[in-house]
Amino acid sequence: MSLLELAKQLEATAEVLHTPSGRGHMVWHEWGSGDPIVLLHGGSGAWNHWLKNIEMLSQNYRLIVADIPGLGDSDDPPFKFNHKDYPTGVRKLAEIMSLGIETILGNMRFHLCGFSFGSIVGSYVAAAAGLRLKSFTLVGSSAFGWPWGGLKKPFLSMHSDMTQDERVAVQQANLANAMLTSEVGKDLARMQLNNVSRARLRSHLITETDVLLPGLRAVTAPLNGIWGGEDVYAQPNLGRIESLLRELDPEACFEIIDGAGHWVMMDAPEEFNSRLMMALEPRGRR
């Protein structure tokens, strides 16, 4: 089954939920049953960032998968997300998302897992959830405020006179440059190109800030981390990230998936699913 066919199948089986976002709505997709896990996607993304994980995880958990306001099918947030003031924008996004989770789950306890930009905003959601949060898992997070090695080569640009096939080829090259170490197929490039074309909230400069840290330091729930060993945004800081998580939570589960890139759950889905489910186990059962 192709990725685009899988996406259509999953959409057809999801329960689509709407929660307030200003005068509009934030959109969520739900699958499965059991302990709830809220999944937050990365920048310029949508729920389909978790495309290769939903089937397996929903066999054991109730998945509540966000489209962050300003991205995917969600309406814009009721404020301007300004790259000159990321801390304010991230806190306001987290308030909308926290309200959405409370609307869907009430006082039910839940796990939270955020990828990249979703982990940055998710840290503030996790802090606000307090005792309702069972655990917070960061996946490929950045915005620690540390220097990093940079991309191996600049991103390619798209131009208005390009054909769709040319745009797909550029998207393939950019995903291979920064996101995945595995082969980037055309279906995946088309999917992410569609995500990017719908993105009204731009967050790419947030990796140069330390906006993650205040939220993360306020989280009281158990912490987990999963990174691809070849994640360019984490180089050369994987050891430093692990030390920080263990400083905040000495029993933190920290997993590195060898050979995988930044989009680790798409690059190595079976390994990622296994490591995440292990991390979510009560600590006495690991």
Q: Which of 127, 170, 138 is nearest to 254 (CA)?
A: 138
Q: What is the pLDDT of residue 51?
A: 97
Are 228 and 260 in contact by the 8 Å Cβ rule? The answer is yes
Q: What is the pLDDT of residue 123?
A: 98
Q: What is the DSSP letter of 166?
A: H
283 has a pLDDT exceeding 80 = no
Q: What is the pLDDT of residue 152?
A: 86
Q: What is the pLDDT of residue 204?
A: 86
25 has a pLDDT exceeding 80 = yes
Are 151 and 174 in contact by the 8 Å Cβ rule? The answer is no
- pLDDT tens, position by position, 132-190: 999 999 999 999 999 998 898 999 999 889 999 999 999 999 999 999 999 999 999 99
100 has a pLDDT exceeding 70 = yes
Q: Which of 38, 47, 87, 31 is nearest to 203 (CA)?
A: 87
Q: Classify residue 259 by burial, with Cβ atoms within 10 Å: 0-12, 13-18, 19+.
A: middle
Selected from 3.40.50.2300, 3.40.640.10, 3.30.230.10, 3.40.50.1820, the CATH number assigned to the domain covering 3-149+202-285 reads: 3.40.50.1820
- Which pTM does this prediction carry? 0.96
Q: What is the pLDDT of residue 1?
A: 81
Instruction: List strand residue ranges (DSSP E) for the chain, in order.
Output: 15-21, 24-31, 36-40, 62-67, 110-115, 133-139, 223-228, 253-257
285 has a pLDDT exceeding 80 = no
78 has a pLDDT exceeding 70 = yes
Alpha carbon distance 195, 46 (integer Å)? 6
Question: For the residues 225-241, what does the mean pLDDT come to?
Answer: 97
Are 123 and 98 in contact by the 8 Å Cβ rule? The answer is no
Q: Which residue type sits at 135?
A: S
Q: What is the pLDDT of residue 242?
A: 97
286 has a pLDDT exceeding 80 = no
Q: Which of 97, 91, 95 is nearest to 112 (CA)?
A: 97
In the chain, domain spans: 3-149+202-285
Question: For the residues 250-273, what does the mean pLDDT come to?
Answer: 97
